[in-house]
Structure 1
Amino acid sequence: MNPIRDEAIPDLAIPPPGKAWVVLHVRPRCEKKLEAFCQRSGLPAYLPLRRKVHRYGVRERAFWSPLFPGYLFCVSTAPGRSTLRQNRYVANLLEVLDQARLVGQLLHIRQALAVDDMVEVMPYLAAGRRVQVTAGPFKGLEGIVQRIKGRTKVVLNVDMIQQAVIVEVDSTCLAPA
């Protein structure tokens, strides 16, 4: 079962007053444990996962790993943030100043993962031309266009954690944003 399409994914929207999205910087290899803790505690959390395949000779093993290792996105109240800071899996808690921007970027990432769960992660790119995809499965997404190995790719940035996801798009489906 693809966890990206699971119905348990929280509503990625701007939370009501008194609640806010926070980015949890997580201790190594504790992302899924912290997500389970958040679910048990009634805190909506979003952990983007991607499918990876390891080959061992002739055999293959597919598994789901965090798209952004070391980060979990969570909606919390002020007292909830205090509880999260005390959790042994949390290394740091990053407050999100621009809630709308983070939600928009997470929606773009979720849409890209719904189409292709084998996306590539690459370093954050601040430079480049901002574009919008006008057709195809990624229609409506905004990102930065890059040419990599002669192919057109769009980089979807998550500014808050300085990470990015890259998807391949036909250059005829792009327009300046």
Structure 2
Amino acid sequence: MRRHAKAARKDAFARHGATAAADIARHGIAFAGRAAPAVVSGFLAIGEEIDPTPLMLRLMAEGYRLCLPVMEAKGKPLLFRAWSPGDPLGEVTWGIREPLPEAPVLDPDIVLGPLLAFDTLGYRLGYGGGFYDRTLARLRALKPVVSIGLAFDEQRVDAVPRVDYDERLDWILTPSGPLKCQSA
């Protein structure tokens, strides 16, 4: 399924990649019900992921505080460090760029995440490391958190395979607009 989902995302990126980031940014995240100065974790796109940078710039202009994920180790939840455009970044595994260790640690109120495929129940197919599932479980044990997957409309599937530790997303934000995930 990952192979098929990667191919579908690659095709969608080829068709819409130039405009998808701007479309996502135009929608904003008011639908999530969390006002600034809430902390939003974004990510820096790799490969054919939708680039969330225009959305993060809009959110920063609206007064949200931003952070980016940091991988501490395999099998551990992500850590989040404060980030603003222009802050220095280090490159780690898979070409992912992360804030440096000097950046303050934050626990986000809203988590934006990449994915390979999604269904209407809010299950996401990721890259297989379980980082976002462990992270959402940790954050949800601390406080209410809104999770938003960023995806092309073409990444929607009938059902994502899942196991008992998979965490559901609350929303999917596509270039055509936000989709509230249904109750399981």
Q: Which of the five TM-score ranges fits, normalised by the shorter chain? A: under 0.3
More helix by share: 2
TM-score, normalization: structure 2?
Answer: 0.21
Structure with the greater alpha carbon radius of gyration: 1
TM-score, normalization: structure 1?
Answer: 0.22
